[in-house]
């Protein structure tokens, strides 16, 4: 039986439609949720990410402001900009686009954001709320993963889940969310002994390790659900031939686009061994921006003492 492709675009569009209705209701009582995106430097990938976020704000009717700062912005100047946004009532969400230049302490900047406006869900106060299962702002990619599972009617309760990756923005929070949904969760990383053997125990396998096609067939239990969080860019034919058993289609993509996006899971193995999986591109990444919008709307409600929208 062929594996089910978990279409991120379909789920994203469902969430966008729900958010559009919520935003219309808020506007009817004089509230327009607002998001400020702060970008330091001219990194092309970061520029692209911020543009996509501003574009979705516009499509949903959210107020958005993009704040471009030069790469030589000092840490104090950035902290001053954050303080200014903290005080602006029209701004409900503050996004600090990472990574920041090396001379800036990213943790200090994140901690300077008002937790009520931390739509990335990575301020220590919001991390604590997540751990204690207290309602709050949840990191966007992990929240998107749960949306995919719940809306695709994939059972989480009682499932054995394995998360490969322990980052503060994906691995740890998605493990905590899965635990709150009553999965039995194991977190693995590069130093886990017998990693493939542990991963093969998973009913739900989340790959968020940041290495192209690192997870191969030996990691996947037949019939498991595989959530591929990785976004890696291949730029040479040699890389593609090394990863794919049949490189013909990927090579055509490389020729036409100059690069190929691939996740942390070998895509042919994932399609063959899983019961359902998220593709790259077209999977988890699409949900990340949608959940940023959801957090902005949620923050607007929380800041004004309004009833919050239902979240999974």
80 in catalytic set: no
- For the segment(s) 31-115, the CATH number from 3.40.50.10860, 1.10.10.1100, 3.30.70.1520, 3.40.50.720 is 3.40.50.10860
Q: Quick check: is 53 catalytic?
A: yes
pLDDT of residue 309: 57
> Where does residue 258 fall: left (phi above 0), alpha (psi -120 to 50 degrees), or beta otherwise?
left
Query: What are 160-217's pLDDT values in tens digits?
Result: 999 999 999 999 999 999 999 999 999 999 899 999 999 999 999 999 999 999 999 9
Q: Give me the catalytic one of 53, 117, 172, 221.
A: 53
Average pLDDT over residues 36-57: 89
Spatial distance between the Cα atoms of 217 and 265, rounded to a whole number of angstroms? 9
CATH topology for 140-286 is Rossmann fold (3.40.50)
Q: Where does the pLDDT of residue 8 fall: very low under 50, low under 70, confident under 90, or very high at 90 and above?
A: very high
Q: Which residues of the chain does CATH 3.40.50.10860 include?
A: 31-115
Residues of the chain with CATH 3.40.50.720: 140-286
Look at residue 27 and tell me whether its pLDDT is greater than 50: yes
Average pLDDT over residues 278-282: 96
Q: What percent of the chain has pLDDT over 70?
A: 98
Q: Is the pLDDT of residue 308 over 90?
A: no
Residue 233's beta-bridge partner residues?
261
Q: Cβ(208)–Cβ(193) under 8 Å? A: no
Q: What is the pLDDT of residue 141?
A: 97
pLDDT at 193: 97
141, 136, 140, 86: which is closest to 111 by C-alpha? 86
pLDDT at 311: 53
User: Tell me: the pLDDT tens digits for 226-253?
Assistant: 999 999 999 999 999 999 999 999 999 9
Q: What pLDDT, in 10s, does the model give residues 76-97?
A: 999 999 999 999 999 999 999 9
Is the pLDDT confidence value at 312 over 90? no
Q: Quote the CA–CA distance of 49 and 220 in Å, as a whole number.
A: 31
Structure tokens at 304: 């004004």
Q: Is the dihedral of CA 294, 300, 69, 96 positive or negative?
A: negative
Question: Residue range 264-279: average pLDDT?
Answer: 97
The DSSP-derived string for 127-172 is HHHHHTT-SS---HHHHHHHHHHHHTT---TT-EEEEE---TTTHH
Q: Is residue 305 within 8 Å of residue 29, measured between CB atoms?
A: no
Give catalytic status of residue 120 as yes or no: yes
- Say what the pLDDT of residue 171 is: 97
Averaged pLDDT for residues 266-281: 97
Q: pTM of the full predicted structure?
A: 0.94
254-266: per-residue pLDDT in tens?
A: 999 999 999 999 9
Instruction: Out of 92, 114, 118, 120, pick the active-site residue.
Output: 120
Local confidence band at 42 (pLDDT 50, 70, 90 cut-offs): confident
Q: Which of 97, 117, 221, 273 is catalytic?
A: 97
Kindly report, residue by residue over 129-168, the tens digit of the pLDDT: 999 999 889 999 999 999 999 999 999 999 999 999 999 9
For residue range 49-68, list pLDDT tens digits in order: 888 888 999 999 999 999 99
């Amino acid at each position: 039986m062929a594996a089910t492709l978990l279409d991120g675009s379909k789920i994203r569009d469902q969430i966008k439609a729900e958010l559009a209705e919520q935003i219309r209701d808020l506007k009817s009582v004089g509230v327009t949720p607002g998001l400020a995106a702060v970008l330091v430097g001219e990194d092309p990938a970061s520029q692209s990410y911020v543009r996509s976020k501003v574009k979705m704000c516009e499509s949903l009717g959210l107020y958005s402001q993009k704040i471009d700062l030069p790469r030589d912005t000092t840490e104090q100047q950035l902290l001053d900009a954050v303080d200014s946004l903290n005080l602006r009532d029209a701004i409900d969400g503050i996004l600090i686009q990472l990574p920041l230049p090396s001379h800036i302490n990213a943790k200090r900047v994140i901690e300077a954001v008002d937790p009520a406006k931390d739509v990335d869900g990575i301020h220590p106060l919001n991390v604590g709320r997540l751990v204690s299962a207290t309602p709050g702002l949840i990191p966007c990619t992990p929240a998107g993963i749960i949306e995919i599972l719940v809306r695709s009617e994939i059972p989480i309760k009682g499932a054995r889940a394995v998360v490969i990756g322990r980052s503060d923005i994906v691995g740890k929070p998605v493990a905590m969310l899965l635990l709150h949904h009553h999965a039995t969760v194991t977190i693995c990383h590069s130093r886990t002994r017998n990693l493939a053997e542990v991963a093969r125990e998973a009913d739900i396998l989340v790959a968020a390790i940041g290495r192209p096609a690192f997870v191969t067939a030996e990691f996947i239990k037949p019939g498991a659900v595989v959530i591929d969080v990785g976004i890696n860019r291949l730029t040479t034919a040699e890389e593609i031939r090394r990863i794919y058993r049949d490189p013909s289609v990927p090579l055509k993509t490389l020729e036409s686009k100059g690069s190929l996006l691939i996740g942390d899971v070998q895509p042919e193995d994932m399609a063959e061994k899983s019961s359902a999986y998220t593709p790259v591109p077209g999977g988890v990444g699409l949900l990340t921006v949608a959940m940023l919008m959801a957090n902005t709307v949620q923050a607007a409600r929380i800041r004004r003492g309004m009833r919050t929208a239902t979240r999974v």
